[in-house]
Amino acid sequence: MADEEKNQALMDKIVALCKRRGFVFPSSEIYGGFNGFWDYGPYGSRMKRAIENLWWHEMVEMRDNVEGLDSTIICNPTVWKASGHLDQFSDLMTDCKKCKARYRVDQMEDPTTCPACGSKEMTEPREFNLMMKTFVGPVFDDEHVAYLRAETCQPIFVDFHSVQVATRQKLPFGIAQIGKSFRNEINPRNFTFRSREFTQMEMEFFCDGEEGMKWFEYWKEQRIKYYREKLGFPEDFMRIYVHEKLAHYAHAAIDIEVKYPFGWGELEGVHHRGTWDLSRHSEFSGQDLQYIDHDNHRKLMPTVIETSVGLDRTMLALLSLAYDEEKAATQKADMEEDTRVILHLPAAVAPIQVAVLPQSKKLKENAYNLYKSIDRHFRSEYDETGSIGKRYRRQDEIGTPYCITFDFDSLNDNAVTVRDRDTMQQERVNVTQLRDYLEKKMDI
């Protein structure tokens, strides 16, 4: 199979697995879905929450100089005027009059010819603003127009002063937020990679401009380290793209890209945004957002270093890296090949970390009690239906790193068999040691 076909096949398999096992499926599917919107099912929402928690733990809880924020999705529309989104956040689009396909002009080699049908009948390029509009209040007119936020960072800038005063943080310090963002993407594609509703995890770090480049380098290194050490991304799965064309206010910018099944794509941006954001919000709100440096008797407009990552893209990256198939001979007489699907997910983000499986339904009560005692410490699941082999397969497919089998011997020796997803090795562990054993193995 050619590389392109292989990659498409991998993407199709990930999409199918996500649907079959309740990770991610189209929103409003019984009504035919809604382009660019995705629902996260039971395993997907667990995994998403685990990624969020990991990011929050690393970026906020483990740091004395980063505070959290949970702002509204809809805010005063002037915010988006000040940020430039209302005037500049748009793409130039052209439509094919014949086959109705729509394209971003900057992504076309030749905007006079339709790449799909070859027609030369293209509409004049038009601007499409990516902000999603709504109305706030009882009247649906221009005066009541508001917007769903297009990025989670703008409320961070708007609330900068309140957070600084409330926490008495001194420069340098950061404010982080996780939440939904909305963009009227013209061409949602590649599963959840480009959606219209998605979750961002952003951190804005405020510092003295003199130290801007130092902090930019610091955060770049921190974020790369996070992907390598916390999510286990290997060298050849990740690369850094250095922006040469910068926004007029920016001093430096890099993207962390990963190898999705469709090719390299952006996962996170680390940007040195200068004083642009706070200056604009000062100008539009009439409030002075400068920081008062009491120690040095001066006022300054803080410089901002941003780390911005999509949660949906993190999950897609993890699934792309984790998906694996192994061929195993079946027990059946014809010995046809059977495919074992495995998600090699890191334990920290696996939707289920431990599955408890009784060897026989006769052991149901003891096994279930064991499961209940484990469930308090790990994301766990109990499964008693089907053969042990089938149950292992089910767990492999959703990325469960450890399966525990409670068997008849367990009744006598108070020990269980722990099976490792990746090595398939089995170890006998005493129930009293189980929690310790699993914590060490999972490194959590």
Binding residues for ligand GAP (CB under 6 A): 151, 153, 183, 185, 194-195, 198, 200, 202, 266-269, 306, 308-310, 312-313
* DSSP output for 379-436: -EEE--SS-HHHHHHHHHHHT-SEEEEE-TTHHHH-EEEEEETTT--EEEEEGGGHHH
d(CA 220, CA 230): 15
Among residues 183 and 379, whose Cβ is nearest to ligand GAP? 183
Collapsed DSSP state (helix, strand, coil) of residue 65: coil
Q: Least Å distance between CB 169 and ligand GAP? A: 21
Residue least distant from ligand GAP (Cβ): 310
Q: Least Å distance between CB 269 and ligand GAP? A: 5
Q: Least Å distance between CB 200 and ligand GAP? A: 5
Among residues 242, 254, 245, 229, the alpha carbon closest in space to that of 305 is found at 254
Which residues, including other chains, have CB under 8 Å from residue 165's CB and lie 6 or more apart? Answer: none
Burial label for 145, CB within 10 Å (0-12, 13-18, 19+), is: middle
Q: Least Å distance between CB 310 and ligand GAP? A: 3
Which residues, including other chains, have CB under 8 Å from residue 176's CB and lie 6 or more apart? Answer: 56, 59, 60, 66, 67, 68, 69, 156, 201, 202, 203, 204
Among residues 183 and 281, whose Cβ is nearest to ligand GAP? 183
Among residues 94 and 195, whose Cβ is nearest to ligand GAP? 195
In the block, which residue shows the tokens 């006598």? 412
Among residues 238 and 404, whose Cβ is nearest to ligand GAP? 238
Among residues 201 and 374, whose Cβ is nearest to ligand GAP? 201
Among residues 67 and 255, whose Cβ is nearest to ligand GAP? 255
Tokens at residue 387, please? 């053969």
Collapsed DSSP state (helix, strand, coil) of residue 60: helix
Among residues 40 and 198, whose Cβ is nearest to ligand GAP? 198
Among residues 185 and 407, whose Cβ is nearest to ligand GAP? 185
Q: Least Å distance between CB 397 and ligand GAP? A: 25
Rounded alpha-carbon distances, angstroms, from residue 43 to 39, 357, 397, 404, 442: 11, 18, 11, 19, 19
Cis omega (within 30 of 0) for bond into 172: yes
Among residues 204 and 396, whose Cβ is nearest to ligand GAP? 204
CB 69 within 8 A of CB 154: no
Among residues 58 and 266, whose Cβ is nearest to ligand GAP? 266
Among residues 21 and 273, whose Cβ is nearest to ligand GAP? 273
Q: Is the dihedral of CA 242, 314, 191, 30 positive or negative?
A: negative
Q: Least Å distance between CB 25 and ligand GAP? A: 17
Q: Least Å distance between CB 234 and ligand GAP? A: 20
Q: Least Å distance between CB 158 and ligand GAP? A: 13
CB 400 within 8 A of CB 388: no
Q: Least Å distance between CB 263 and ligand GAP? A: 15
Q: Least Å distance between CB 374 and ligand GAP? A: 34
Kindly report the number of other CB atoms within 10 A of residue 434's CB atom.
Answer: 21
Q: Least Å distance between CB 314 and ligand GAP? A: 8
In the block, which residue shows the tokens 């002037």? 78
Q: Least Å distance between CB 193 and ligand GAP? A: 6
Among residues 169 and 308, whose Cβ is nearest to ligand GAP? 308
Rounded alpha-carbon distances, angstroms, from residue 398 to 110, 330, 346: 44, 21, 12
